[in-house]
Amino acid sequence: MYDWCDSFPQVPKVTQLYKKTPPAISRKGKRLHCIYLFVVIKNKSRFTTAYKFMKRVLRCRLTLLLLLPFAATYSQENTLEQLMALPNDTAKVTKLSAYYEGIKRKEPQKAREVATTILDLSKKLGYDKGIAMGYADLGFVDAITGENRRSIAYNAEAIKYYKKIKDNTAVAACLGTMANAYSGLGKSDSSTIYRLEAISLLEKMKESPSFTKRDMRMLSLQYYNLAVGYANSLRDDDKALSYYKKAEEMAQQANDTTMIVTALNGVTRRLASKEQFADALVQAKEALHFAKASGDDFLLSQAWHGYATVLDVSGKLDEAVEPALLAIRYAEQTGDFSRFMVSATTYSHILQQKGDYKTLKAFLEKVLDNKGQKDNIEFLADMYGFLAEANYKLGNYKPAYDQLYKKLVFNDSILKVENNRIMADMEFRYQTAQKEKALSQNQLQLAQKNLQLQKNRQYIYYTLAALIVALLVAALFYIRYRNKKRIHQKEIQSLQQQKEIQLLQALMQGEEKERSRIAKDLHDGVAGMLAAVKMQLSTEEEELKSLKGYTKALQLLNEATAEVRKTSHNLMPEVLLQHGLDKALRRYCNNISSTSLQVHYYFIGEEQRYVDSFELSVYRIVQELLNNIFKHSKATEASVQLSVQDTVLSISIEDNGVGFLKQPSQNGGMGLDSLKHRIHALNGNIELNAETGGGVNAYLEFDTAGLRRSGARAETLVN
């Protein structure tokens, strides 16, 4: 025994299972049983894989088939006990779900209990995925056991949670199960709608990188089931054929051999029903190719049966015999009676069409001797019908009569079963109608209440909407009022500023007129008188030279004349009126420059002439700033720079002194506040830094748009 266990990592477990095997089983059977149980426990959800593995290891098919039910039941119960003992967490939910997958078709009742456990545990844990799986599992079990209405309700709940966790593949699976349930209820239209919804959802996922082989298999299955619906219920061979082909194409992409063979058989049947026998044979051979490559007995039986069916309906009866026999042989090896039943019926029909009644009689007697297969009355009715015809053709009239009688008995049983089914269905429909009537009444009352609630909500919505509109209107009026008030205040401020500017300009004009008058009086009056005195003295210069102090008096007279002329020019500089700001500021800077304060003047740009009032105002502003520097800054050097660029005139004044504090108007000067007002009145700005200890740094900028005058001399002077 232990040489069989060396290749397994859990030898003690295998040995323990060996001791638990029934004593009547042979040593070879014990080996097989232990290895099989180990594989099942190792991966409980893959019984088919374990079965194939055992066939390859021992080739002991009979023993394996005898032990398979016992081994599966033993391992499953043992595994379920172990799973239920695990801590209540999400890992337990996942393991229970895997266990459910292994038993959902074989033991639906136990599968329902496991699904209920998954659902209850997931609800306690608040595990959305587990809740979705629980509802979906219950819905699947109800679908395969005929509880179609409950299956629809469970799957609808599962879809809510799968959408919450964004598992579209699972949503599509639930929609497919709902489609199967509606088909079971005879609602082909609803079934088709839900099937198409599942397909639509999966097709949208095809362009996504996350579209996996699992999604491909699911889409292939939905295509196949939709094709079955079109073929069986809606009798639309063309649409059925198109969806069978889509199912085969998607199965090819997923590399799913089972679905490839199944879909190809569907294509084969539809082509044969359309009498396109050549194309049908091509598809049947393709299905055989994949089935042979898989080595799976079920797929081989299915593929050979499809091939035999095409040959049968196309009239190639001799060629159809061997494929039909192969289909029967592989069906027997799988132990699937439904597969055997379909293949046996096709083979019997082929022999009947050939007229080979001896072979048909021998085959049917062998089939009917199997007592375990007599629970399917529809199959037995067909078999006795074929056998009765065979005996009749062979002259065995008494057996033919007996077998025909049995066929009629089975047909009568079928009719009774059908009648019972119809009566049960009618009773179900009646009970359902009564429940639906009561439900409709409840729904009507609920609808009336909902209608009233909806009306109340509408009244509330209308009231809230009216209130919101009123608030919006009030807010708009308030905003409009505030904007008007702001605009009005700005207009008032603008008017006040314009008034101040006009007053300031009038004051400046008055000052300039007064300056002009004083300058004229000084120039024409005092300066003239001084000139006359000097001229008088000059005529008597010979007599006066001998007088003491004459030279000193003449010197003072010359200085007074120069001072009067200087003052007159400062009050009304003629050079400004004749030549503009550049020449006037240059002369003024040269005039005030002395040993104590060196004033340097610079000009940048092209010289322009402006209106007289603007040039005179700018000149006075520069004059005032230089006077403040001269009086208060204690500077030894100062610089004035005039720059003209397009419509901008800028002046920069700097010195190396100690600066000066803001001074009030003194000695007829402007004062810094007055200076700033004048600059603003000229549509200009000033940046002045003249704090004590930092020297003077003043920058003036004026917008000269509209202030130019024609006839200006273009000239560029630097220094």
C-alpha closest to that of 104 among 44, 180, 176: 44
- CATH number for region 574-703: 3.30.565.10
354: how many CB neighbours lie within 10 A of its CB?
15
Q: E strand or H helix at 602, and its extent? A: strand 598-605
DSSP structural state of residue 8? S
- Please give the average per-residue pLDDT across 692-706, as a whole number: 85
Rounded distance between C-alpha atoms, residue 301 and residue 284, angstroms: 12
pLDDT tens column, 663-696 = 544 444 456 777 888 888 888 999 988 776 678 8
173 has a pLDDT exceeding 70 = yes
Q: Coil, strand or helix: which one is 605? A: strand
Query: Mean pLDDT in the chain?
Result: 78
Higher pLDDT, 552 or 639: 639
- pLDDT-based confidence at residue 128 (cuts at 50, 70, 90): very high
Q: Determine the average pLDDT of the residues in 465-478.
A: 92
* DSSP symbols for 371-387: GGGTT-HHHHHHHHHHH
Over residues 437-455, mean pLDDT: 81
pLDDT (average), residues 578-585: 86
For residue 330, the tally of other CB atoms under 10 A from its CB is: 24
What is the radius of gyration, based on Cα positions, of the chain? 57
- At what angle are helices 188-205 and 213-232 packed, to 10 degrees? 150
User: Distance between CA 20 and CA 41 in Å, rounded?
Assistant: 15
Q: How far apart are CA 50 and CA 514, in angstroms?
A: 123
Q: How far apart are CA 478 and CA 489, in angstroms?
A: 16
Which pLDDT band, with edges at 50, 70 and 90, does 620 fall under?
A: confident
Are the C-beta atoms of residues 272 and 280 closer than 8 Å to each other? Answer: yes
3-state DSSP call for residue 717? coil
Between CA 368 and CA 399 the distance in angstroms is 14
Residue 110 has pLDDT above 50, yes or no: yes
Angstrom distance (rounded) from CA 625 to CA 632: 11
622/650 Cα distance (integer angstroms) = 11
Helices 108-125 and 90-103 cross at an angle (nearest 10°) of: 160
**DSSP-derived secondary structure letter, 28:** H
Task: Check pLDDT > 70 for residue 697.
Answer: yes
Lookup result for tokens 């748009």 = 705
pLDDT at 402 over 70: yes
Q: How far is CA 499 from CA 492, 520, 618, in A?
A: 10, 31, 21
Which pLDDT belongs to residue 135? 94
Coil/strand/helix, residue 213: helix
Q: Give the pLDDT confidence of 484-517 residue by residue, as tens digits.
A: 988 988 888 778 767 766 666 676 667 666 766 7
Question: What number of residues does the chain have?
Answer: 719
Q: Match 């120069």 to its residue by tokens.
A: 562
Kindly report the three-state secondary structure assignment for every residue of 417-440. Answer: HHHHHHHHHHHHHHHHHHHHHHHH
| Pair 308, 287: CB distance under 8 Å | no
Q: How far apart are CA 712 and CA 609, in angstroms?
A: 5
CA torsion through residues 174, 180, 186, 192, sign: positive
Q: 3-class DSSP state for residue 684?
A: strand
Domain residue spans in the chain? 574-703
Residues 527 and 533: their CA atoms lie apart, in Å, by 10
DSSP conformation letters of 619-654 = HHHHHHHHHHIIIII--SEEEEEEEEETTEEEEEEE
pLDDT band at residue 431 under the 50/70/90 scheme: low
Of 320, 255, 348, 324, give the one whose Cα is nearest residue 293.
255
- Record the tokens describing residue 275, joined without a space: 């009498």
E strands, 459-541, in order:
none
* Cβ-contact 515, 571 below 8 angstroms: yes
pLDDT of residue 408: 85
Backbone angles phi, psi at 638, to 5 degrees: -145, 155
- 186: number of Cβ within 10 Å: 11
| Cβ-contact 683, 670 below 8 angstroms | no
